């Protein structure tokens, strides 16, 4: 491929790689949050996909929506989940270290949505702190998430903590 040619096809989204930078920062930015180690997964309409747009409230499901904190404003919405996945490098290698799920409801016809932004921020923070909070997900959502994580990188899945594996252990 020549330098002036561009690759054909969609750019594939991947979970962020853990940076090798020191976590012990001093001075300016000492209290900043490192988001390079977290990626959002959207579970919607029987599919789990990586959607980096969710980092800024601009996932495919969230685009062109007016959000309300009042659930009654979206009576005909469908349930959509954002799952924050934190990736970490351990002695065994990379792993999925934290995972938290947040709910939202979307009504595309009315272009209205419901979500609690504070819940999304708190769950993102919990995932970064290597917590696993997936109790609210149904069996199908857990199955879809597990399949996505394994298909994305089975080695990372195998290196992941038992807490995550047990939370996604779906038996039908």
The tally of domains found in the chain comes to 1
Euclidean distance between CA atoms 171 and 109, whole angstroms: 35
Beta-ladder partners of 86 = 38, 98
With a CB cutoff of 8 Å and minimum separation 6, the contacts of 93 are: 155, 156, 159
| DSSP one-letter string for 134-162 | -TTS-HHHHHHHHHHHHHH-HHHHHHS-H
Per-residue pLDDT tens listing for the chain (172 residues): 455 555 555 554 555 444 445 555 555 544 445 567 899 999 999 999 998 888 877 888 888 889 999 999 999 999 999 999 999 988 889 999 999 999 999 999 999 999 999 999 999 999 999 999 999 999 999 999 999 999 999 999 999 999 999 999 976 4
Would 8 be classed as within a structural domain?
A: no
| DSSP one-letter string for 54-119 | GGGT--TTTTT-EEES-GGG-TT-EEEEEEEEEEEEETTEEEEEEEEEEEEEEETTTTEEE--HHH
Would 9 be classed as within a structural domain?
A: no
Would 4 be classed as within a structural domain?
A: no
Would 20 be classed as within a structural domain?
A: no
What is the domain extent for residue 141?
Answer: 38-167
**How far are the Cα atoms of 5, 84, 98, 126 from residue 2, in angstroms, in the given order?**
5, 38, 41, 45
Please, are residues 128 and 37 in contact by the beta-carbon 8 Å criterion? Answer: yes
Would 31 be classed as within a structural domain?
A: no
Would 5 be classed as within a structural domain?
A: no
Would 94 be classed as within a structural domain?
A: yes
Would 10 be classed as within a structural domain?
A: no
Rounded to two decimals, the pTM is: 0.78
């Amino acid at each position: 491929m020549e330098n002036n040619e561009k690759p054909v096809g969609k750019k594939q989204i991947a979970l962020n790689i853990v940076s090798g930078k020191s976590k012990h920062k001093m001075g300016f930015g000492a209290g900043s949050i490192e988001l390079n180690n977290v990626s959002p997964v959207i579970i919607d309409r029987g599919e789990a996909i990586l959607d980096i747009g969710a980092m800024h409230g601009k996932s495919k499901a969230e685009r062109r929506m007016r959000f309300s904190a009042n659930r009654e404003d979206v009576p005909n919405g469908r349930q959509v989940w954002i799952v924050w996945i934190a990736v970490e490098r351990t002695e065994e290698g990379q792993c999925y270290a934290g995972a938290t799920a947040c709910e939202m409801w979307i009504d595309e016809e009315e272009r209205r949505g419901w979500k609690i932004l504070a819940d999304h921020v708190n769950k993102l923070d919990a995932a970064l702190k290597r917590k696993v909070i997936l109790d609210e997900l149904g069996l199908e959502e857990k199955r879809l998430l597990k399949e996505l994580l394994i298909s994305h990188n089975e080695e990372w899945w195998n290196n992941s903590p038992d807490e995550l594996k047990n939370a996604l252990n779906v038996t039908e």
